[in-house]
Amino acid sequence: MHMGEIILDVRDQRTSFATARGMLAAVDGVSFTLQRGRTLGVVGESGSGKSVLSRSIMRLLPGNAVVPGGSRVILNGRDLTRLSEAELRRLRGPEMAIVFQDPMTSLNPVLSIGRQIMEVLMFHLGMKKRAARARAIELLTAVGLPQPDVRVDQYPHQLSGGMRQRVAIAIAIACEPDLLIADEPTTALDVTVQAEILDLLQRMVRERNMAMILITHDMGVVAGRCDDVAVMYAGRIVEQAPVRDLFRNTRMPYTAALLASIPKVTDPPHRKLDAIDGRPPDLINPPPGCPFAPRCKLADADCDQGKPMLEGPAGHLFACIRPLGQETAA
Amino acid sequence: MNAPTRDPAFLAIENLTVEYPLQGGRKVHAVTDFSAHVMRGETLGLVGESGCGKSSAARAVMQLPRPTRGAVRLDGQELTGLRGRALQQARRRFQMIFQDPVASLNPRMTIRDIVAAPLEIAGIGTAEERCARVAAMLEKVGLNADQAMERRPHEFSGGQCQRISIARALILEPDLLVCDEAVSALDVSVQAQVLNLLEDLKRDLGLTMLFISHDLAVVKHVSDRVAVMYLGRLCEIADAETLYRGSVHPYTRTLLSAVPEPDPEAPPHALSLIPGELPSPVNPPSGCPFRTRCPRASDLCASQMPQLQDISPGHLSACHHPLT
């Protein structure tokens, strides 16, 4: 139970969906490891595969999802791809948990929030009702819900969006999981509430020595809240590095283009934004080479020859044969 | 320079109040006594968190629905008193773009019919002339008219649908364009394309804009001046650079400090906000609406509503205890 211990090892995760037009490769060969006490930010635009990746790790995929035999998700030394649904259910909670974007749909509208937390405690930890209720109030206190002893008997519709997300976090951490996945946890919330919820998640990860995957489309959220960042594009990780490295020494042209296209509060008004022309590729008929090549200003004919591998020196990985900063990289 | 005096403002919003009735005689105070002036060719950004009344204010400007009280004058013409045909005539001059580009386009109509609809309603031109104008407008918003005209909204991405919405809004050559969270549903790379397009169109067509968004960075990007709202009231208004660098209202400061910057060297600021929830707009607090969460609040804030005061030319703030 020390820092540095590898909790999660994802190897060549591939997740496709059968559609009317053919197979859609939503996650196309993703591999990474995550250590206890670390937060990995996974950032990408819609359709980049970040949410499908989180559900692939949790094994919460719909029936039309296809995962080939070579994909592995190893959590605490156990290969989740080999487990039955019943075995997985016992792990979701004590070993891994997820917080979704919309707490209104992830909470049950007809059960009090206390009941929803108690259910987890009684199922996984075998707690008796009275003890579970007391623990539920403790958890609601820990996540900063005001008047926890009153709120415990209330229903989701009686709470604001921020309060509901606090409840969802209380449920997720109830069994002290080793891995917490937060999938766009603040996208539906106002900025001031977002700051409070991100503070809370960071505190929980630190206090409980968990590992967290923070999935977001917001480069600002990633910059302030993560140790490492993986940038996804068209179902693949295209750059992965410690957060400062990624922002200061960006290698993948897509990451650079994404950063340049963000309006910043420090910019003067009316600055022309560096938009990325075109749109992400069709994942049913992806281009043969680098998926970003059709939109990339630095691409040449070689970029259309096969998909570049994710590799690089000293923990800074990028999937690009024409990376930026070539001259400065020793 | 644009303090609400007798300036010849192109869009003058005076004491705008929007109330929605509830059962039992109570009402939601969505917008209270909101005043702002926008000069011709200027973009006024309107920011605030959900429920602050920014969308209600924008819709009241559009007369959709009509405000409960107050005045909205566009180029000297009072809009709140207009009815029927007169309002329809006036509407040619102010158009709106909404947040959800897909939901705001009729899925059963072709792009040609969607963009031509305002012309048809206004009875402008023959079918052929309308078609030519639609084609020209589609090209102007960056779409290939030949390919787009006969297709339907589902064949386009979100960013392209927003371009179509913009084409529809601009086909009548309005003077005022109201954008309500117009880029909020778009990914950043596409958002940048649409923001650049709006800036180009504004310059080329001499548009005046009211730009509503919860995203402070986006608002700063397109706005000449910015107004901050909280619980239906105007807290602070100033030119964009002044507001972002030298705000004096505690709520504006809080809002700005909460924006996560895409820079790992800039650690998140501690929020100077009393934990708690936004008060209900059905029962707003007495005095200053922000006082229940404001670390600087005093007894005065509870007893007296702070009035807008001049901080510097064009910079107004409603606070008893402004920051320096």
Query: Is B260–A220 a contact, with Cβ atoms under 8 angstroms apart?
Result: yes
The secondary element (H helix, E strand) that includes residue B221 is helix B216-222
How many residues in chain B?
324
Query: Is B261–A224 a contact, with Cβ atoms under 8 angstroms apart?
Result: yes
The answer, yes or no, to whether residue B272 has pLDDT greater than 90, is: no
Query: Is B277–A247 a contact, with Cβ atoms under 8 angstroms apart?
Result: no
pLDDT at B4: 46
Tens digits of residue pLDDT in A243-256: 999 999 999 999 99
Tens digits of residue pLDDT in A158-176: 998 889 999 999 999 999 9
pLDDT at B1: 45
A224 contacts on B by Cβ (under 8 Å): 260-261, 264, 266-268
Question: What pairs with residue A237 in β-bridges?
Answer: A232
Q: Does B263 touch chain A (CB under 8 A)?
A: yes
Tens digits of residue pLDDT in A82-129: 999 999 999 999 999 999 988 888 899 999 999 999 999 999 999 999
Closest residue, chain B, to A256 (C-alpha): B189
The answer, yes or no, to whether residue B2 has pLDDT greater than 50, is: no
Tens digits of residue pLDDT in A6-22: 999 999 999 999 988 89
- State CA A321 to chain mean position distance: 27
Tens digits of residue pLDDT in B13-53: 999 999 999 988 899 999 999 999 999 999 999 999 888 99
Mutation target to probe the A interface, by most A beta carbons within 10 A, among B263, B265, B272, B273 is B263
What DSSP line would sit under A111-169, residue for residue? S-HHHHHHHHHHHHH---HHHHHHHHHHHHHHTT-SSHHHHTT--GGGS-HHHHHHHHH
Query: Is B195–A273 a contact, with Cβ atoms under 8 angstroms apart?
Result: yes
Q: Does B128 touch chain A (CB under 8 A)?
A: no
Query: Is A243–B263 a contact, with Cβ atoms under 8 angstroms apart?
Result: no
Q: Does B176 touch chain A (CB under 8 A)?
A: no
Tens digits of residue pLDDT in B64-83: 889 999 999 999 999 999 99
Q: In chain A, where are the structural domains located?
A: 6-95+177-318
- Closest to B20 in 3D by CA, of B9, B32, B8: B32
CB-count exposure of residue B295 (10 Å: 0-12, 13-18, 19+): exposed
In angstroms, the separation between the Cα of residue A253 and the nearest Cα of chain B is 13
A279 contacts on B by Cβ (under 8 Å): 157, 159, 190
CATH 1.10.10.10 fits B11-85+208-317, yes or no: no
pLDDT at A280: 87
pTM of the model: 0.90
Tens digits of residue pLDDT in A173-229: 999 999 999 999 998 888 888 988 999 999 989 999 999 999 999 999 999 899 999
Closest residue, chain A, to B279 (C-alpha): A160
Query: Is A269–B254 a contact, with Cβ atoms under 8 angstroms apart?
Result: no
Which amino acid is residue A11, in one-letter code? R
Assigned architecture for domain A6-95+177-318: 3-Layer(aba) Sandwich (3.40)
Tens digits of residue pLDDT in B201-255: 999 999 999 999 999 999 999 999 999 999 999 999 999 999 999 999 999 999 9
Query: Is A247–B263 a contact, with Cβ atoms under 8 angstroms apart?
Result: yes
Rg (CA), chain A: 21
pLDDT at A216: 94
Q: Which of A224, A263, A267 sits opposite B260 (nearest CB)?
A: A224
Q: In chain B, where are the structural domains located?
A: 11-85+208-317
pLDDT at B274: 78
Query: Is B277–A163 a contact, with Cβ atoms under 8 angstroms apart?
Result: yes
Q: Is the peptide bond before B65 cis (omega within 30 degrees of 0)?
A: yes
Q: Coil, helix or strand for A206?
A: helix
Closest residue, chain B, to A272 (C-alpha): B196
